[in-house]
Amino acid sequence: MRRVSIIGIGDTKMGKLPECSLKSLITEAGNEAILDAGIEKNIIEALFVGNFNSQALCGQGHMGALVSETLGLGHIPTLRVEGACASGSLAFRQALMAVAAGFYDVVLVGGVEKMTHQSTEVVTSAIASASAVELEASLGATFPSIFAMLANRYSYEYGDIREAMALCAVQNHENALLNPKAQMQKKITVEQVLNSFPIADPLTIYDCSLVTDGAAFVVICATNRDVGSAAKRKVDILGSGHAGDTLSIAAKRSLTTLDVTVNAACQAYSMAGIKPEKIDFAEVHDCFTITQILNIEDLGFFNKGQGAEAVAKGKTARTGKIPINTSGGLKAKGHPIGATGLSQICEVVAQLRGEAGTRQLDRSQIGLTHNIGGTAATCVVNIFRKGES
């Protein structure tokens, strides 16, 4: 299996973007990634696209062909990949395997979602399709209510973590203030989180990720491929893991350990040949604040039951032991579902290159992305290292 590297990244501003269409989001992020890679479009051999639900939200299926036509990529093969909120990371992993196996040398990977133009009812219905519809959604269960159950169960097993959950939101908002492409550039306090509009006890509106428009693209290539000046800015892909679990929450083995994360992380660490303590920073899937606490434990950064204490002590802050979500995370950067996993990768690559501006970390040699789909039914974990000049 060949080594694979990232040579180009591009993403749009995330947010409520009424002036942007699917095609304009694709155009901006896709062309930015290709320009960043310093390549001509005619050397791109394949395209993989992450998209969750453009049929319901935009009336547009067949996304691979749409992206290829929009970017003028000619007659290359295209594939749309869907895995709920993990769609972007799954597209990335498919592209990684194709290049590693030698089918292609240079591949473009993109993710896009256009959501905010629809009513709350339409968006809620579309998102609910990522859950167990017959067993849960049809009976009134929503993602906020399901993750609220996880939070309540965690507090029952390990003690009250309500303030630590609020701190996750506060820290992510602080990081987003330094990210010009983040959706929610607003400083908040623990008190605001605790006392804001209730969604599903104990979650308030500030515990929940955002409905977002946005796109993100990356260019990957075989590490030994000569791509000119981009070689100096390569980021190597060390490891990748993909795991699954039950669609319904009722069938999970545990509500306080997300097995899908544990298994995907084990695969990624094994492939990379490293332990969790070697990770310098991570972008994790904080669809709700409780999820961030579960994630940092399940990824092996902290022992089970100690994630909340780690957050409270500032260990996950931008200046802490292992900075989490320097981009602002799903909570504040935004959650354009099909693009989310690739947006995480763009942030990690920017940090590893030393191009993250005012949010640049002092220690950034190895970074990790973690992206889950549905009720922790799908997970992709990727590990990256600064490439050799």
Spatial distance between the Cα atoms of 322 and 279, rounded to a whole number of angstroms: 8
Spatial distance between the Cα atoms of 202 and 150, rounded to a whole number of angstroms: 10
Q: What is the per-residue burial (b if ≥16 Cβ within 10 Å, else e) of 192-223?
A: bbbebeebbebbbebbbbbbbbbbbbbbbbbb
Per DSSP, the three-state class of 223 is coil
- Whether residue 361 contacts residue 318, with contact meaning beta carbons closer than 8 Å, is answered with yes
Annotate 87-149 with DSSP letters as a single string.
HHHHHHHHHHHHHHTTS-SEEEEEEEE--TTS-HHHHHHHHHTTS-TTTTGGGT--HHHHHHH
- Whether residue 280 contacts residue 367, with contact meaning beta carbons closer than 8 Å, is answered with yes
- Whether residue 215 contacts residue 29, with contact meaning beta carbons closer than 8 Å, is answered with yes
Vertex 291: Cα angle to 318 and 350 (nearest 5): 40
Spatial distance between the Cα atoms of 382 and 284, rounded to a whole number of angstroms: 11
User: With left for phi above 0 and alpha for psi between -120 and 50, is residue 364 left, alpha or beta?
Assistant: beta
Positions annotated as catalytic residues are 85, 335
Residue tagged 């009513």 (tokens):
119
Query: What tokens were used for 200?
Result: 């599903």
Spatial distance between the Cα atoms of 129 and 133, rounded to a whole number of angstroms: 6
CA distance readout (Å), 62 to 51, 339, 373: 10, 16, 21
Spatial distance between the Cα atoms of 107 and 67, rounded to a whole number of angstroms: 13
Spatial distance between the Cα atoms of 119 and 305, rounded to a whole number of angstroms: 38
